[in-house]
Amino acid sequence: MNIAILSRNPHLYSTSRLVQAGEERGHNMRVLDHAKCYIVNESRDPSIYYGKEEIKGIDAIIPRIGASVTFYGASIIRQFEMQKIFSTVKSVALTRSRDKLRSIQIMSRENLDIPKTAFARSPKDIPHLIRTVGGAPLILKVLEGTQGLGVVLAETQKAAKSVIEAFMGMDKSILVQEFIKEAGGADIRAFVVDGKVVGAMKRQGKEGEFRSNLHRGGSSSMIKLKRRETAAAVKAAKAMGLSIAGVDMLQSDRGPLILEVNSSPGLGGIERSTGVDIAGKIIEYVENSVGKKAKLKDKVGV
């Protein structure tokens, strides 16, 4: 097959591992910088260009879209979808997953357990927001933040009120979320591929740090998920419409609480922690999906 990876940097661990895994299975792999692609539309002829070259002959795409180019990246994925080319991440699922508030609303609707989360715009609502999530300490999250950036722990009610007012004064939309003390600065990342958890790791924040992100100096180790944690991860990915997802959750006294569902989860930490060939699992999913699509097309043709 001809498989294109939409990535802005071919040297990133995740991108290079997907290329390696695909080539080992006999596929032609190509990395396309989606920010350098452009689209042309006319009646019944949606096309995609990379410089002067029209991109043709692609069987499947594996999007690795960064948060800073979500809108443009989604438009490129959508153009491939219009050409009936298989994508491991659907354009609508990408945009849905990048909206933290919408994600929380979807998970609440689907009866997934999440930390209690509040959202408001008016400064007059701040005292009630704080009370609603159980008071301080509490977590404040900027809606557009990634990799732990824009996430603040407010340890007192006074500090929480000051930070919320500051963000509102800068016209920043924030979520106010209950603090799960018993998680101890750790969370779980479950990697879901095609409705199955293929690997999981526990991430521990460095001493004095409540955020467990590996980009912020946290450490990781393999973990065997409990049945309830596995079910929650699979259900969360399905709720977001993602066939490939990194589901982040906290271990609480009341069970696993979903924090976030990542549509472009990195492979480095999970592969090193678990020893599992996650990239190979993704390529296998592409093979199975494109194969099923081809068989269905042949059957319809008959």
Cis geometry, peptide bond prior to residue 137 (ω within 30 degrees of 0): yes
Percent of the chain with pLDDT over 70: 90
Name the pLDDT band for 1 (thresholds 50, 70, 90). very high
List the single range of 232-241, 274-283, 293-302 with lowest mean pLDDT: 293-302
Name the pLDDT band for 215 (thresholds 50, 70, 90). low
CATH number, span 2-89: 3.40.50.20
Question: What pLDDT score does 172 carry?
Answer: 82
Are the C-beta atoms of 129 and 117 separated by less than 8 Å? no
Measuring CA to CA, which residue among 96, 86, 61 is closest to residue 50? 61
Check pLDDT > 60 for residue 214: no
**For residue 38, what are its two tokens?**
């452009």
pTM for the model stands at 0.89
- Give every CB contact of residue 214 below 8 A, 6+ residues apart in sequence: 203, 220, 269
Check pLDDT > 50 for residue 10: yes
**For residue 289, what are its two tokens?**
């999906």
Question: What pLDDT score does 142 carry?
Answer: 84
pLDDT digits (tens, 9 = 90+) for 124-170: 888 998 999 999 999 998 876 555 567 888 999 999 999 888 888 88
Name the pLDDT band for 291 (thresholds 50, 70, 90). confident
Check pLDDT > 50 for residue 300: no
Q: What's the CA gap between 55 and 131, in Å, rounded?
A: 54
Question: What pLDDT score does 302 carry?
Answer: 45
Domain 117-179 CATH assignment equals 3.30.1330.60: no
pLDDT digits (tens, 9 = 90+) for 256-286: 999 999 999 999 999 999 999 999 999 999 9
Q: What's the CA gap between 15 and 67, in Å, rounded?
A: 16
Are the C-beta atoms of 257 and 116 separated by less than 8 Å? no
Task: Please provide the average confidence, as pLDDT, over all residues in the chain.
Answer: 90
What is the pLDDT averaged over residues 22-43?
96
Helices 100-109 and 91-98: crossing angle in degrees, nearest 10, is 100
Are the C-beta atoms of 49 and 55 separated by less than 8 Å? yes
List the single range of 81-85, 90-94, 150-154, 179-183 with lowest mean pLDDT: 150-154
Cα-based torsion angle of the residue sequence 212, 215, 217, 220 in order, rounded to the nearest 10 degrees: 60
Residue 101, judged by CB atoms within 10 A of its CB (0-12, 13-18, 19+), counts as middle
Q: What's the CA gap between 163 and 180, in Å, rounded?
A: 19
**For residue 198, what are its two tokens?**
């293929």
Question: What pLDDT score does 191 carry?
Answer: 98
Q: What is the rounded end-to-end Cα distance, in angstroms, of the chain?
A: 23
**Rounded alpha-carbon distances, angstroms, from residue 241 to 106, 188, 225, 262:** 11, 20, 22, 11
Are the C-beta atoms of 262 and 245 separated by less than 8 Å? yes
The topology under which CATH files domain 97-112+182-263 is: D-amino Acid Aminotransferase; Chain A, domain 1 (3.30.470)
Residue ranges covered by each domain of the chain: 2-89, 97-112+182-263, 117-179
